[in-house]
Structure 1
Amino acid sequence: MDGTLVDTEDFWWEAESTLLADLGHPIGPEEREIVVGGPMSRVVDHLLAVSGAALTPERLGDLINERFVELIGQGVPVRPGAKALLADLAAHGVPTALVSASHRRIIDQVLRTLGAHNFAFTVAGDEVERTKPHPDPYLLAAARLGADPARCVVIEDAPTGVRAGQAAGCHVLAVPSVTAIEEGPRTTVRTTLEGVTTAFLRALVVEK
């Protein structure tokens, strides 16, 4: 979701960096590539280690989520090609699930822009025991869709999500937002979702 369908990675970094600066523990831009893609547990552990902020991981995570929600209160920009792809999938009757490492409150806020009707269901990072980079969220989504993971295409923008999709046995279409991602077995890289169609995704599954 973040950085894949909606352009929220800048908002996440702003929430993280400005919050720590306000608390008297500024962090440098070199941390951005490390924390991109979540999950929140990994992000807060790293930010606490490099900043020295005297907060519990749970409290820092709550504060980051609160600031992020404030920042996206007026809506978020949609990534190029995302809405066209969702519409094409719906037109072809392809069931689609939204799987994110973000918490439920974040997903519900973003769905105001994306439209909940575009997805059969959503899976949030705080609703699974192990979120990305573990395969659990994608395996759960495939099971709920009644689909073989090997016949599913996961669209991701960050290495943690790519690893989750690969571990689940899905084909991965990577559209990097901040961190570079290399092509590999069952992993295709595009610079944008523009021009990506249902036919394109089906061809990935057939070819691989």
Structure 2
Amino acid sequence: MTHSTPAAVLWDMDGTLINSEPYWMSAEAEIVESFGGEWTHDDALAVVGSGLLTSARAMQSKGVDLDAHTIVDRLTDRVMSQLQEFGIPWRPGARELLVEIRQAGIHTALVTMSIARMAHHVVDNLGFIGFDAVVCGDDVEHPKPHPEAYLKGANALGVSIAECVAIEDSPPGAASAFSAGATVVGVPFMVDIPADQTHALWPTLEGRTLQHLSELHAKVAIR
């Protein structure tokens, strides 16, 4: 480990670590349509990376006559059932990079807007110990893009956020990590991320290594 190596790497989950966004989109559409409404692809993209209560309120505006927390529970149940049926759908390169980071002894935290039972289901089924800490949507008062979640992630690991690299796939997530003070790698999936919310935009994690993260972190640290 060198002086440029980050003290910790903070990972978003949906769309960054695992390819679960299509599961969320189909669950949203099923619920809205069950109330006679329409949930378009653009509707789904508008809430990618946001807190689940934000998604729930958007679904209420489409005619879903349930309270927001009930909507969140139903969404989570549906996505978890798909994960249980099909397994953990890793994003390209994510597993390999996470394994390398863990083998190097670097701390990791999962920082997700999914609720705890969903996040811990994923963590418990990775096939290895992937994270030292997990921050979920129900652990924070303010969802992404507010910096609270990433600040909590760094605090849970006992490190300064300035010593962390965060990996994100969405504008709300990147904005959260950037405003918190982390070095931010954006790996856009469903939605483009503005360049001014990241320190680097990578099309994929495939082929990326700890060395790439360390080199980026070193450049940010000396600015």
Map of 2:28 onto structure 1 = 16
TM-superposed CA distance for 1:112, in Å, is 3.8
2-structure distance, mates of 1:67, 1:101:
16
Map of 1:38 onto structure 2 = 50
Larger mean Cα displacement after TM superposition, 147-156 or 112-121: 112-121
TM-superposed CA distance for 1:194, in Å, is 0.9
Map of 1:2 onto structure 2 = 14
1:178 maps to 2:190: yes
TM-superposed CA distance for 1:22, in Å, is 2.1
Counterparts of 1:1-208 in structure 2, within 5 Å, are 1-49=13-61, 51-74=62-85, 75-115=87-127, 117-184=129-196, 186-208=198-220
CA offset digits 1:10-36 (Å, max 9, x no partner): 000011101211232222222121011
2-structure distance, mates of 1:116, 1:47:
36
Contact 1:170 1:186 in 2 (8 A): no
Q: Which amino acid aligns with 1:182?
A: P
Contact 2:154 2:160 in 1 (8 A): yes
Tell which has more relative contact order, 1 or 2 (C-alpha 8 A, sep 6+). 2
TM-superposed CA distance for 1:110, in Å, is 1.5
CA offset digits 1:110-137 (Å, max 9, x no partner): 2244246111111111012223111111
Q: How high is the TM-score relative to the length of structure 2?
A: 0.87
- Report % sequence identity: 34
Contact 1:182 1:189 in 2 (8 A): no
Gaps of 5+ in 2: 1-12
Using a 3 Å threshold, how does the CA distance of structure 1 residues 116 and 56 change in structure 2: closer, same or farther? farther
2-structure distance, mates of 1:27, 1:130:
25
Larger mean Cα displacement after TM superposition, 18-27 or 146-155: 18-27
TM-superposed CA distance for 1:199, in Å, is 1.1
CA offset digits 1:57-106 (Å, max 9, x no partner): 12222221121122222213101111110111112111111111100111
Gaps of 5+ in 1: none
Q: Which amino acid aligns with 2:58?
A: H
Q: Find the residue that maps to 1:68 and give its secondary structure.
A: helix
Q: Which amino acid aligns with 2:74?
A: L
Note the aligned Cα RMSD (angstroms): 1.5
2-structure distance, mates of 1:55, 1:144:
34
2-structure distance, mates of 1:173, 1:140:
19
Q: How high is the TM-score relative to the length of structure 1?
A: 0.93
Q: Find the residue that maps to 2:84 and give its secondary structure.
A: coil
Contact 2:88 2:126 in 1 (8 A): no
Equivalenced residue count is 207
Q: Which amino acid aligns with 1:70?
A: S
2-structure distance, mates of 1:166, 1:6:
21
